[in-house]
Amino acid sequence: DAGITQSPRHKVTETGTPVTLRCHQTENHRYMYWYRQDPGHGLRLIHYSYGVKDTDKGEVSDGYSVSRSKTEDFLLTLESATSSQTSVYFCAISEEGFYGYTFGSGTRLTVV
Amino acid sequence: DQQVKQNSPSLSVQEGRISILNCDYTNSMFDYFLWYKKYPAEGPTFLISISSIKDKNEDGRFTVFLNKSAKHLSLHIVPSQPGDSAVYFCAASAREKLTFGTGTRLTIIP
């Protein structure tokens, strides 16, 4: 039922290289979010967007940047990948912003 | 500073019995609470929610209880079924963001 897709699904990259993950939605929702999931930490918010060109930081934003030039796309960039950024990254969308999140299937990123 | 805590990393329950998953929070500004279910290699999916003005919400086999004075919520699943085996995250909302707990892995034993 998609409505939200993440690409790539898997990626292996080297330490120090830049990496961009893409989240694409077809629901025209206002809010988009990037979370990372790690054992023992659950899901932690990296950045979120409340409209085109409107973004804000989450609790673990260091080393990450985002951009949203169109309603449907939210990009997450690791400026210089480190091993600590090895994780599963989830994008989520929401119409209201405080409930009803729909998550993508995730991107598994490995930094070697 | 973990604002939403799930102190049980795992839970095993016999099929047909009740599963009770617990969650504690520290931020009194949270006004909406949710439970998400996650299967391996998939994104979390919404299960059930409750507003801070209520103390109980029921949806089929799933019931969420909220005790605001104790800053505690729980998810009851009855009867438990094998398909309920998954990781369950509680989440709390303040304004535009959800804060998630660390998750509890529920295993239903046939």
Please, is A46 exposed, middle or buried when counting C-beta atoms within 10 Å of its C-beta (0-12, 13-18, 19+)?
A: buried
Task: Specify the pLDDT at position B73.
Answer: 97
CB within 8 Å of A58: residues ≥ 6 apart: A33, A34, A35, A44, A45, A46, A47, A48, B97
The stretch B85-96 carries a mean pLDDT of 92
Report CB contact under 8 Å: B43, A97: no
Q: Are strands B104-109 and B86-94 parallel, antiparallel or unpaired?
A: antiparallel
Instruction: For residue A99, give the nearest of B34, B89, B102 by CB distance.
Output: B34
When computed from its CA atoms, the radius of gyration of chain B, rounded to whole angstroms, is: 13
Q: What is the DSSP letter of A87?
A: E
Interface test with B, best of A29, A33, A99, A108 (most B CBs within 10 A): A99
For chain A, the residues whose C-beta falls within 8 A of a C-beta of chain B are 31, 33, 35, 40-45, 48, 50, 58, 90, 92, 97-106
Residue pLDDT, tens place only, A2-35: 699 999 999 999 999 999 999 999 999 999 999 9
What gap in Å lies between CA A98 and CA B95, rounded to an integer? 6
Residue pLDDT, tens place only, B2-61: 799 999 999 999 999 999 999 999 999 999 999 999 999 999 999 999 999 999 999 999
Contacts of residue A99 in chain B, CB cutoff 8 Å? 32, 34, 49, 93, 98
